[in-house]
Structure 1
Amino acid sequence: MTHGECLFKKAPGHRKEGSLTRVRYASRFQAIQELQEEQGFPVQALCRIAGVSRAAYYKWRKRTPTAEEKHNEALMVLVREVQTRVRGIYGYRRMAQHLTRELGQPVNRKRLYRLMKIYDLQAVIRRKKKRSPAASPQHVEANKLNRNFQASQPNEKWLTDITEFVDATGRKAFLSTVFDLYDKSIVHYEISPLNNNQLVFQTMEQALRACPGAQPMIHSDRGFQYTSRGFKAIVEAHGLDHSMSRVSRCLDNGPMEGFFGTLKCEEYYLPYSFYATYEDLVKAIRRYIRFYNHQRYQEHLNGLTPIEYRNQAA
C-alpha cells in the first residue's frame, strides 16, 4: 500500500459523524494540553473556557487514537504544509486537486471539506459576493463631471470612492478616499472594518477640514453612502457641487479606480505581500499612501510627487 493509500483509504469501522465529532473536540483537547504544559495554566480553567469537561479531557489523554483519527491527523498535517506554501489561497477544492497530484492518489473532496471546516482552514482569496436587492437611493445627482478629469487648481475637483482588502484571517478592511484631480493626491483617507455611512462621512468631513475654505465639485458613484441624506447634508453644508457616475459606468470615476488599481498592484498583490492580521494590512495601506503622496514621482506631474506638485501650485 502506498503512502497515499494509507492516508486516504477509509479505516475499518469508519463512522463519519462520530469521527468528526472526535476530531472537533480533539483540537480543543490538544490546545488545553499545550497551554497547560507550556504556560502552566490550570486544566480546570482551560476546560471551562473550551467548553469541555475535565473527565472528557483526561479520557482523551489516555485514549488510543483510532485508525481514522490517525488518517485525519496525517491529512491535516499535509493540508497545513500546502496552505503555508501557497499563502492560504487554496479552498478545499483546489487543495484536493493539489494533494491528488502531489500524492498520486485521489483525495475525497467532501472529507477534506469537513476537516478543513472543523480546523477553520479557509481560502483567503475573495469570494463571490451574495447578491442582495439594491436599496432605493435617497438622493441622486447627474454626471456633471462627465469624464472631464482635468483641473486647473487644487481643490477644484475631487473624486471619492471605497475599496476593500482582506487579511490572511479573512477580516476585511475598507479604504475610503478623497482624490484631487489637480495633483492626483490623496487629500484624506479613512480605513475601517465596516463599510458604512460613518466611514464615508468621516472621510469627507476630514478632507474638508484639511483644506479650509475648499468648495470643490465632489464626484462619486451611486453607492448607498453617497446617495444617502447624510452625504447630501454634508455637501449642502459646505456648498459643494455633487456629481455622480452613471449606473454601471466605472470609467466615470476612472482616476479614482486607477489609484485603487495602482495601490493593489504595487502593494497588495505583490508576490511577497502577506498580511497576517488586520493591523498588518492597515499599516501596509497607510505606508503605501504616504509613499504615493510624498515619494512616488509621476511623469504627468512633471516628474514631481503629488504633494510636491500641490505645494508648487500653492
Structure 2
Amino acid sequence: MSTKTRRQYTEEFKTEAVRLVRDSARPVAQVARDLGIADHLLYRWRAEQQQTESRGHTRQAMRAEQEELVRLRRENATLKQERDFLKRAAAFLREGVAMRYRVIQEHDRRYPIRLMCRALAVSAAGYYAWRIRPESARSVSDRTTLSVIRVIHRESRETYGSPRIWKALVTQGHRIGEHRVARLMRQDGIRAKTVTKWRATTQSQHRFPVAANTLERAFTVEAPNRVWAGDITYVWTLEGWLYLAVLLDLYSRRVVGWAMSQRITVELTEQALTMALAKRAPTAGLLHHSDRGSQYAATSYQRVLDEYGLIPSMSRKGNCWDNACVESFFGTLKRELVYQRQYATRSEATQDIFEYIEVFYNRQRRHSTLGYHSPAEYEARAAVA
C-alpha cells in the first residue's frame, strides 16, 4: 500500500501566503481555497509570523494603518471608476446611438445623465425618449449576454479575448456563436490586454558542462512529472530589478516551482527547484529542461538534479524556441500583469506575481493548449479519468 506524501512548503511560499491574507483583506478560508491548502496551515503560518514581527508595533497602530489602507483603496477605486467611464466614452462615440444610450442607462446611478450625454455626444431629450420605447427581444438578449461577458472579462483580469470568453460562455451553458461574442465585445469596447515587447536574459559565458538538448521541442507530454522546463526573467521596480525563476510542468503548463530575488544567482534557480521537488515529489527519470545559463549549469544545481535522479536537458545556444513554453508563460505574465503595473518596491512586485501565479494562473486562467481548462483543472480531470 502506497503512503501519502506530505506536502512541504518553502518559507517564501508561507510568507507570501500570509501577506496575501493581510494585504488583500480576504478571509483566510478563501485565500486557503485559492492556494489549494488547508485552512489550519494558513492560520498557523500567520500566527508564527505574527510572533516574529517587531515588538515596537502596537496593535492600535496596526489597526490604524489597516483602516487607512482600506480608506485609500476605496478612494482609489472611486477615482478609477470615474476615469474608466471618461476613457471608455471615446470608444462609444464610434458606435450607434442606441448603444450609447444603453451605456448611459447602465451608469445612470453613478454619474449625472447630462454629463454622460455630453461625453457621448447625444441629447438628453433623445435619451429620455429612448428609455420609454419598448426594447426589442434581440436587444434584451444582447444586453443580458453582455453583462455575463463583462463578468468573465473582469474575472480574467481583462486578459481574455473573444475566443476564451466564447468558450467560457459555452461552458456555462450559453448557446451563442463566437462571432456574436466578438461583436458584443467590440461594441462595448472590451478587449484583451495587448502584447508589449520584452527580452530574456541568459548568462551563457561560463565554463560549466552543458547538457544536450534531449527535449528537442517535444512540448506535448502525456503525464505530469515527466518533463519540467525552467527559465529566468526580470521585472522592473523603482527599487531596481526583481528576478523571477520558474519551473513549469509541460504536461499541464502548471508553475510547480518559483523564486524571486534582487540578484540573478544559482541560489535563485535552486530555490525554485526546491519548491518544485517539495510540491511534486517526482520519481527518478524526470527530464529537466532549461537554457544553458550559469544558473542552471552550475555544479551545485546539477548536483541537486543528480541527487533526485532528474535528467538535464538544455536549449541550443541562442535558440529561445527550444524553451518556448516557458518563454510563452513569461510573455503572458508580462502582458497580463507586469506591463499593467508600476511597482514601487520589489516587495510589492513579489506579492503581485505570487498571487498571479498561485491563485490566477495555476487555478483559474483558461489555457488554450489545455482545451481552455486551467492547469489545476486539467490535472484534476486527468486524475479521475
Give the TM bin, normalised by the shorter chain.
Answer: 0.5 to 0.7
Deviations 1:2-40 (A, max 9, x none): xxxxxxxxxxxxxxxxxxxxxxxxxxxxxxxxxxxxxxx
Would you say 1:282 and 2:350 are equivalent positions?
yes
Match of 1:198 among 267, 273, 284: 267
Would you say 1:269 and 2:339 are equivalent positions?
yes
Separation of aligned partners in 2, 1:136 and 1:220: 15
Q: Secondary structure at the match of 1:190?
A: strand
Separation of aligned partners in 1, 2:220 and 2:344: 39
One-letter amino acid of the counterpart of residue 141, structure 1:
A
Deviation at 1:300, TM superposition (A): 2.4
Separation of aligned partners in 2, 1:245 and 1:300: 22
Matched length: 185
Would you say 1:141 and 2:208 are equivalent positions?
no
Match of 2:249 among 174, 180, 189: 180
Q: Secondary structure at the match of 2:294?
A: coil
One-letter amino acid of the counterpart of residue 282, structure 1:
T
Query: Is the Cα contact below 8 Å between 1:137 and 1:228 reproduced in 2?
Result: no
Deviation at 1:170, TM superposition (A): 4.3
Inter-CA distance 297–187: structure 2 relative to 1 (3 Å threshold): same
- 1:56 is aligned to none
One-letter amino acid of the counterpart of residue 274, structure 2:
E
- 2:364 is aligned to 295
Separation of aligned partners in 2, 1:135 and 1:260: 23
Deviation at 1:313, TM superposition (A): 2.2
- 1:21 is aligned to none
Separation of aligned partners in 2, 1:147 and 1:210: 25
Separation of aligned partners in 2, 1:267 and 1:214: 34
Would you say 1:154 and 2:215 are equivalent positions?
no
Separation of aligned partners in 1, 2:323 and 2:282: 24
- 2:316 is aligned to 246
Separation of aligned partners in 2, 1:206 and 1:174: 16
Would you say 1:189 and 2:258 are equivalent positions?
yes
With normalisation by structure 1, the TM-score equals 0.55
Query: Is the Cα contact below 8 Å between 2:240 and 2:346 reproduced in 1?
Result: yes
Query: Is the Cα contact below 8 Å between 1:174 and 1:192 reproduced in 2?
Result: yes
Deviation at 1:164, TM superposition (A): 0.5
Structure 1: state its 5+ residue gaps: 1-125
Separation of aligned partners in 2, 1:313 and 1:137: 42
Query: Is the Cα contact below 8 Å between 1:219 and 1:244 reproduced in 2?
Result: yes
Following TM superposition, the consecutive aligned residue runs of length 4 or more in structure 1 with deviations greater than 3 angstroms are none
Query: Is the Cα contact below 8 Å between 2:260 and 2:350 reproduced in 1?
Result: yes
- 2:380 is aligned to 311
One-letter amino acid of the counterpart of residue 269, structure 1:
Y
Aligned CA-pair RMSD:
2.5
Deviation at 1:312, TM superposition (A): 2.0
- Which range is displaced more, 143-152 or 209-218? 209-218
One-letter amino acid of the counterpart of residue 217, structure 1:
L
Separation of aligned partners in 1, 2:309 and 2:236: 36
How do residues 1-314 of structure 1 correspond to structure 2 at under 5 angstroms?
A: 135-167=205-237, 169-215=238-284, 216-270=286-340, 273-289=341-357, 290-314=359-383
- Higher share of residues assigned helix: 2
Structure 2: state its 5+ residue gaps: 1-196
Query: Is the Cα contact below 8 Å between 2:257 and 2:274 reproduced in 1?
Result: no
Query: Is the Cα contact below 8 Å between 1:275 and 1:281 reproduced in 2?
Result: yes
One-letter amino acid of the counterpart of residue 295, structure 1:
Q
Deviation at 1:149, TM superposition (A): 0.4
Query: Is the Cα contact below 8 Å between 2:239 and 2:344 reproduced in 1?
Result: no
One-letter amino acid of the counterpart of residue 275, structure 1:
Y
Separation of aligned partners in 1, 2:370 and 2:231: 23
Deviations 1:186-234 (A, max 9, x none): 0111111111111111211221111123342000001101111111101
